[in-house]
Structure 1
Amino acid sequence: MASLKMTISCFFFLQILLFSLSSFAQTNAQELEVGFYDNTCPKAELIVKQTVFNTIKKTPTLGAPLLRMFFHDCFVRGCEGSVLLELKNKQDEKNAIPNLTLRGFDIIDNVKAALEKECPGIVSCSDVLALVSRDAMVALNGPSWEVETGRRDGVVTNINEARANLPSPFDNITSLITQFQAKGLDKKDLVVLSGGHTIGNGHCPQITNRLYNFTGKGDSDPNLDTEYAVKLRKKCKPTDTTTALEMDPGSFKTFDESYFNLVSQRRGLFQSDAALLDDQETKSYVLKHMNSDEYSTFFKDFGVSMVKMGRIGVLTGRVGEVRKNCRMVN
């Protein structure tokens, strides 16, 4: 009986703890606002936009990594800039395998340096990430949305947390849904944010198993279009670790809806792309947005989901700090 009471007590304690943590995160998110720097650094968003547009004009392939960087930041400890921190022992998020292909950290440094020159100690690195991800998409003819700001920066980064929290290109639909729900994101957010794969590249190691040994019997993934698999095998040999592959062949530098056409044709590059057809709700969205037209809601939906993701685990008020250098704590 005592054991039962203890079990019940622990259960209710856990429920209260989870509710408290959820309430804390929600309260912090409510402290974000559009135009947070209007009075303290009026030119902040213009400075970010100009730097990003100049960068994307010269190197459009940086758009996808800059978007991905914000995603990878928010899914580990929340949107508080921990993905930018560097530790001497290399046990930081940057050195986790999923983050080794991230690029554009120097762009974040350039934006931050310009902001520090304009208004020292005001704009956080985590807000820089949020603003950069939006402006990079606009520069690629993609959607725009109002970015909520007011985040402060975290002071902790841990390689193991990145390994544990970042979704994988090998994930099935059940795993993806679970991971997104743990961050307060639903099925629609999952499929909408996956639409970000309309830009950027993947690499051969992320699909080798789909091409050569999917079930351990030297076979290919039956959910991958056979003709497309043949083309991919010509580009990716079993031991290839470096070759880049366009996520959206033919328009990987332009933000559009063609990703959903590819997924519907079983030509999504990753297993996680193909998995979107394994749930009725995510599949329905894919099929609805197969062909771009004036009635499509994808661009609007993408902005909504980005704002929602940008609220994950934020630090506001007096929690955290505003880093002077995004690579290290003050």
Structure 2
Amino acid sequence: MATFDYVSSALRTIRFEAEAVTALMSRIDGQFSQACELILNGKGRVIVTGMGKSGHVGKKIAATLASTGTPSFYVHPGEASHGDLGMITKDDILLAISYSGTSSEIVALLPLLKRGGIKIISMTSNPDSTIAEVAEVNLDISVVHEACPLDLAPTSSTTATLVLGDALAIALLEARGFTAEDFAFSHPGGALGRKLLLRLSDVMHTDNEIPRVLPETPMADALMEMSQKGFGMTTVMNSAGDLLGIFTDGDLRRSIDRGIDIRVARVGELMNTTPKTLRDNTLAAEALALMEQAKINVLLITNEQKKLVGVVKINDLLRAGII
């Protein structure tokens, strides 16, 4: 039995689908702009519908729209005829996906949708099809041939549809001025959301957890404070609560190497007067980058008045998922 050439088959599929995507570029025109304006000027949501493979792609398009600033969800056209049509309001816009433009389940909904004044954007391969003719705007998703050698299974066409949906979502994102922080608010449970939303004020140690000593404190007492608080350092502050410096385990080793008698020294004589600090509203991800660059394990946190309000260890950021 001859060995099948899997690699050639895969490369042919990728080539056909790449050609289908490239062909979309010549169709990004006034119709595409009109679809974007229709959505941006709408007062409701974008309701995506489609049957079969178009429905699967439609679910992804709806999810991408929703996560990039355009409220959207998917409605199955078959279920819509049995009650789910009630999910659609007169302020919504329907994005109907049907390669042929004649999917019976969607066609059956058209009279009711138009009667309700709901505007329709279609994605079809035939501008003269039933769905395209009823729609305010039709976006062309036609392909020369499917990647399937039988030219039957939706392959190139579904890829083209998916890419056109992404193009629509990103154009709307940019037009809205949608920011990374906006994106994070719709992704609070993931690592990306934590990176974009978590601030030092959310993870820092505060109040009595912060090691503090006066500059005239004997080294023995300063070391005791460091040991009790467990940060491997202590802040050095004056009686008014102003931050003067920091003394760390590394400073202790360097002092011993220099032959300093720590039994008689005061912490103010050996402290580092230029500790690394960040504002409490700084993103935790930004703090982690600074700590890794500076090769430090502890960071001092200040408020708007430059008063010390917290301490963060690098392990605190790692535990919070900022990686």
Q: Does TM-score exceed 0.5, indicating one fold?
A: no
Q: Tell which structure's C-alpha radius of gyration is larger.
A: 2
Structure (1 or 2) with the greater helix fraction: 1
Hey, which of these two has a bigger chunk of strand by percent?
A: 2
- Flag the structure with more relative contact order, 1 or 2, with Cα contacts below 8 A and sequence separation at least 6: 1
Q: Normalized against structure 1, the TM-score is what?
A: 0.27
TM-score normalised to structure 2 length: 0.28
